[in-house]
Amino acid sequence: MPELPEVEITKRGVDLHFTGQRLLACTVRQPRLRWPVPVEVQSCVKHILQGVERRSKYMLMDFGAQVLVVHLGMSGSLKIVNASTPWDKHDHIEWNFGDKVLRYNDPRRFGSVEYVEKVPGWEHSFIRFAKLGPEPFSEAFTPDSFFKATRGKKVSIKALLLSGFAVVGVGNIYACEALFRSAIRPGKAAGRLSKANVQALHAAVVAVLTEAIERGGSTLRNFQAIDGELGHFQLHCDVYGREGQPCKRCGATVKRRVMNQRSTFYCAQCQE
C-alpha cells in the first residue's frame, strides 16, 4: 500500500508537471473504485489546477472552487503519459491537460477519487479527515503531543503508529524501521513507553519518513512515481524484509512475527 512517502512523491510529481495548466477533459473508464467516482469530477474541466497538497495518504488536487481528493488504496498509482498513449488494462481515470495526461491505474480498485466543494473549513468537515492525527512534519507533532497520545493506551505501539491516531502516514515498513531505530519492541503496550522512549520514537519517525521521501519511497510491489521512477528505500532497511539475517546493530538474528495480520520485523536483542 502506498504510504505517506509514496503519496508525497506522487503529489510532488503531479504538482511539478500539471499545476498552472488547464484541465481539458476528464475521462472515467471505470467508475467503480472503493467508492463510485462522482459525476461532479467533470465540473473541474476547463479549470486550472491551482496546486496539489497532501493530507495523510490523500492527495488533494485544487481546481479553485473544487478539490479532488485522491487515495491510491492498496495498488493505485498515477502516471504521466502522452495523450496518444494507449490505455493499460487497469487505467481507470484520465485527466487531459493537453500534450500530457495524468492517468490513474489501480489493479485492485481499492483507491478512490472524491469531489469536494472548496468552501471555508472544508478540510475540517470532510469525513475522511475526521479521525486523522497530526502530520509528522507539522508543528502539531511534537514529542510532548506524541507522549500524550500514548498515555493509557493498551494497544501495541506498532498498532498505535499504524492507526493514524497519534501521527499519520506511518505504514508497516516505516513503523518497523522507526521502532528499530528507537530500540522499542513493536509489541510493547504504547502506554508503557517512557517519555524518553517516546522522544526517541518521535525522532525516528520523522527521520525514517524524511529518508524514505528522499529515496523516492518504497517499491515493494508496484509503486512508481508518475514518471515511472521506482522507489528504493526498501533496499536500505535495517529490519524490514530481513528475517533470518543478522541485525545491523548487534549481529543477532532479525525475527518476524505477525501482528494484526501484518508482518513485523524486529531484533529481539536490540529492541526492548
- Other C-beta atoms lying within 10 Å of the C-beta of residue 237: 19
Catalytic: which of 57, 79, 153, 181? 57
User: What are φ and ψ of residue 172, in 5° steps?
Assistant: -60, -50
Q: In angstroms, rounded to a whole number, what is the distance separating the alpha carbons of residues 145 and 133? A: 11
Place of cell 483507491: 111
Active site residue 248: no
Active site residue 255: no
Cβ atoms of residues 257 and 239 within 8 Å: no
Q: In angstroms, rounded to a whole number, what is the distance separating the alpha carbons of residues 103 and 119? A: 27
Catalytic: which of 3, 94, 114, 177? 3
Grid coordinates standing for 72?
491510491
Give bridge partners of residue 94 from the DSSP assignment. 27, 103
Active site residue 3: yes
Q: In angstroms, rounded to a whole number, what is the distance separating the alpha carbons of residues 63 and 70? A: 13
Q: In angstroms, rounded to a whole number, what is the distance separating the alpha carbons of residues 218 and 116? A: 30
Cβ atoms of residues 104 and 82 within 8 Å: no
Catalytic: which of 100, 108, 256, 262? 262
- Other C-beta atoms lying within 10 Å of the C-beta of residue 167: 29
Contacts of residue 20, defined as CB under 8 A and 6 or more positions apart, other chains included, come to 48, 49
Q: In angstroms, rounded to a whole number, what is the distance separating the alpha carbons of residues 165 and 42? A: 34
Kindly give the residue spans of alpha helices, DSSP state H, lying in 29-142.
122-125
Active site residue 262: yes
Instruction: Kindly list the catalytic residues.
Output: 2-3, 57, 262
